[in-house]
Amino acid sequence: MKTFCGRANPTTGAMEWLEEDENYDYHQEIARSRYADMLHDKDRNVKYYQGIRAAVSRVKERGEKAIVLDIGTGTGLLSMMAASAGADFCYAVEVFKPMANAAVKIVEKNGFRDKIKVINKHSTEVTVGPDGDMQCRANILVTELFDTELIGEGALPTYEHAHKYLVQEGCEAVPHRATVYVQLVESKRMWSWNKLFPVHVEAEDGEKIIVSPSEMENCPGVPSVCDIQLNQMSSSDFTILSDVVTMFSVDFSKPVRSASTYYRVQLEPVKSGKAQIVLSWWDIDMDPSGMINCTMAPYWVKSTSAFQWRDHWMQCVYFLPNEEPVLQGEKLHLTACRDEYSVWYKLQKARGEEENKADVRVESPVCRCQAHLLWNRPRFGELNDQNRTRQYIKSLTKVLKTDSVCLCISDGSLLPVLAHYLGAKQVQ
């Protein structure tokens, strides 16, 4: 038996799938894999199970057969939960072939062969009808297609399609609803992951300041989400400027629209400061009443002390296009724009509604300065690390002479600029 293992390509950074033979020790792979992390997320699993049981009961109470569609079944876990909860039949759709093959085996081993059909397709390819993949439309839609940004794994287009073609009108959905929350903060630390700060160089002929060009200062950056464990961020690393605000919700039991749109909320800062970052996370309600809630809220927001460690869902850091001084109590508008796969934010002083509306930019941010394409967020942070730069300056000062000719073999490093400012004769 061969195993597919995901591996980050060190050159491109992209994930690739490699086939490993049966003697390969894949304990490390399992430890690293997101599937394992999801499967060990007890809080998530328990709540999905509660939500699925409740949905199956509601359908049964109406005297209907419970027909489940589980999109992105992975190991088959949620379908097996549904079958255990008394569902009459489950269609378990999984696009990734090695995973679908695994699901077939797992389903069989757990004795659910008669209740669960694994379909190795993308959900948008699934057919319904007497000769189709599904005999009829489902009346319970179960999915777990969410990333830290909620929509980054394509949940919206998948739901949009499923409601049009694969499930009945008025179906039950687990989760029933997702809500995205935001909080405005000032944080030099986080801001340093997106903008290049001025670099102070103490040269023999006095202090010099290297500043980045204005295209870089005004660049909107890249749309890829910056996901981190906010629970590991010390409260001294940021200043809260606003309360937590609900940005938008998606009801998964109703038709979903994936087309680009925007949501706007009014904010009044609780403190004056420099608005730089929008922190964001989401929660999912497994049932319509909201009693079964699975939340990614960070430690300063969450009321419960029970804390579930998870890497597959973290929290998002969004960089505002520019830092904006804000005053306590003034009226601000925060706009979340989204396309099918990503979200980005914009902050404005509240003006006339018409004026604000005219100003909404729904296109996703595109880096104009090239730096965001060259450097990832940790690299920005590294370049902004003053202590690190100081060490480089100290070492360079030791070796540089006025007739030094420097050759820099590096990509996007500050070293050649530092060498020039420190008086090297020539830098290449």
CB of 139 to ligand SAH, least distance (A): 19
For ligand SAH, the binding residue among 73, 192, 194, 258 (CB under 6 A) is 73
Q: Is 144 a catalytic residue?
A: yes
Is 264 an interacting residue with respect to ligand SAH (CB under 6 A)?
Answer: no
CA-CA-CA-CA dihedral for 391, 395, 396, 400, to nearest 10: 160
C-beta of 97 vs 425, nearer to ligand SAH = 97
C-beta of 33 vs 322, nearer to ligand SAH = 33
Letter for the amino acid at 227?
Answer: D
> Is the bond preceding 175 in cis, omega lying within 30 degrees of 0?
yes
Using alpha carbons, select from 176, 183, 181 the residue that is nearest to residue 271. Answer: 183
Contacts with ligand SAH by CB under 6 A: the residue count is: 21
Is 69 an interacting residue with respect to ligand SAH (CB under 6 A)?
Answer: no
Question: Contacts from 99-106 at CB under 8 Å and sequence distance 24+?
Answer: 99/35, 99/74, 99/75, 100/73, 102/75, 103/73, 103/74, 103/75, 103/76, 106/75, 106/76, 106/80
CB of 96 to ligand SAH, least distance (A): 4
For ligand SAH, the binding residue among 158, 276, 315, 389 (CB under 6 A) is 158
Is 242 an interacting residue with respect to ligand SAH (CB under 6 A)?
Answer: no
Report in angstroms the alpha-carbon separations of 94 from 117, 150, 376: 11, 19, 32
Is 99 an interacting residue with respect to ligand SAH (CB under 6 A)?
Answer: yes
The secondary structure element, H or E, covering residue 181 is strand 177-186
CB of 45 to ligand SAH, least distance (A): 8
Site stretch for ligand SAH (CB under 6 A), options 65-73, 170-178, 200-208, 255-263? 65-73
For ligand SAH, the binding residue among 49, 51, 74, 238 (CB under 6 A) is 74
Q: CA–CA separation, 271 vs 330, rounded Å?
A: 10
Is 94 an interacting residue with respect to ligand SAH (CB under 6 A)?
Answer: yes
C-beta of 94 vs 283, nearer to ligand SAH = 94
C-beta of 72 vs 152, nearer to ligand SAH = 72
Letter for the amino acid at 154?
Answer: G
Is 38 an interacting residue with respect to ligand SAH (CB under 6 A)?
Answer: yes
Is 123 an interacting residue with respect to ligand SAH (CB under 6 A)?
Answer: yes
C-beta of 96 vs 263, nearer to ligand SAH = 96
Q: At what angle do helices 77-84 and 97-109 cross, to 10 degrees?
A: 30
How distant is the alpha carbon of residue 261 from its chain centre?
A: 18
Is 93 an interacting residue with respect to ligand SAH (CB under 6 A)?
Answer: yes
Q: CA–CA separation, 102 vs 299, rounded Å?
A: 36
CB of 46 to ligand SAH, least distance (A): 12
Active-site residue (options: 20, 64, 108, 153): 153
Q: Is 153 a catalytic residue?
A: yes
C-beta of 91 vs 191, nearer to ligand SAH = 91
The secondary structure element, H or E, covering residue 27 is helix 27-32
The DSSP bridge pattern shows strands 138-143 and 67-71 to be parallel
Active-site residue (options: 144, 149, 172, 186): 144
The secondary structure element, H or E, covering residue 53 is helix 42-61
- With tokens 């709540």, the residue in question is 47
Kindly write out the interface string for residues 137-156 of this chain, putting x where it contacts ligand SAH by CB under 6 A and - elsewhere: -------xx-------xx--
CA atoms within 13 A on the CB side of 46: 8
Q: Report yes or no: 282 and 180 within 8 Å, Cβ to Cβ.
A: yes
SS3 199: strand
Letter for the amino acid at 42?
Answer: K
CB of 145 to ligand SAH, least distance (A): 5
For ligand SAH, the binding residue among 32, 40, 122, 188 (CB under 6 A) is 122
Site stretch for ligand SAH (CB under 6 A), options 95-103, 171-179, 181-189, 418-426? 95-103
Beta-carbon contacts of 168 under 8 Å, excluding residues fewer than 6 positions away, are 137, 138, 139
C-beta of 15 vs 358, nearer to ligand SAH = 15
Which residues on adjacent β-strands are paired with residue 209? 200
End-to-end CA distance of the chain: 53
Q: CA–CA separation, 108 vs 16, rounded Å?
A: 29
Is 222 an interacting residue with respect to ligand SAH (CB under 6 A)?
Answer: no
Is 199 an interacting residue with respect to ligand SAH (CB under 6 A)?
Answer: no
Q: Which residues are catalytic?
A: 144, 153
Give residues in contact with ligand SAH (CB under 6 A).
Answer: 38-39, 71-75, 77-78, 93-96, 99, 122-123, 144-145, 153-154, 158
